[in-house]
Amino acid sequence: MSETQTVEDPIEENPIVDLINHSLNQDYNKANEIFGDILGQKLDIALEQEKIKMADLVYNGDEEEEEEEETEMDTEELEELEMEDGVEELEDDDESSEDSEEDEIEDQEETDNEEEDV
């Protein structure tokens, strides 16, 4: 008969859960240590991604500059659309203010007529 070995998978603990648990238990020093570790890991990952992006830019060409130009053009188009929307809103506001002025004049005339009748 052959014996089967069971390999137990080590359970990885979530550092965020540990951070929360230590905070709830008022073990702020340990929570601060875990927070620093988490933040350091995130910073290392972001830094490594930027290094890769820069290396790609240096060794593979100016692809990023083309993307920036496209983004700049999109931004200019967006600004133009926003300006057009702003002009339309101003025109709408002018029309509504004219309507409200006319309504106020009519209301005042009705009030004056009612006062004369009394």
**Interval 52-97: pLDDT, tens:** 999 999 988 766 555 666 666 677 777 776 776 665 665 666 555 5
Residue 18, pLDDT score = 92
Residue spans of alpha helices (H) in the chain: 15-24, 28-60, 63-117
pLDDT above 70 (res 15): yes
pLDDT above 90 (res 39): yes
pLDDT above 90 (res 115): no
Residue 109, pLDDT score = 77
Average pLDDT value for the chain: 76
Please state, in angstroms and as integers, the Cα–Cα distance from residue 34 to each residue in 11, 19, 24, 29, 31, following that order. 18, 6, 14, 9, 5
pLDDT above 70 (res 108): yes
> pTM for this structure?
0.41
- Greater pLDDT, 29 or 84: 29
Residue 42, pLDDT score = 95
* Nearest-angstrom CA–CA distance, 93 and 100: 10
Question: Which residue's entry shows tokens 């290392």?
Answer: 44
**DSSP state at residue 25:** T
pLDDT above 90 (res 102): no
Tell me phi and psi for residue 107, to 5 degrees: -65, -40
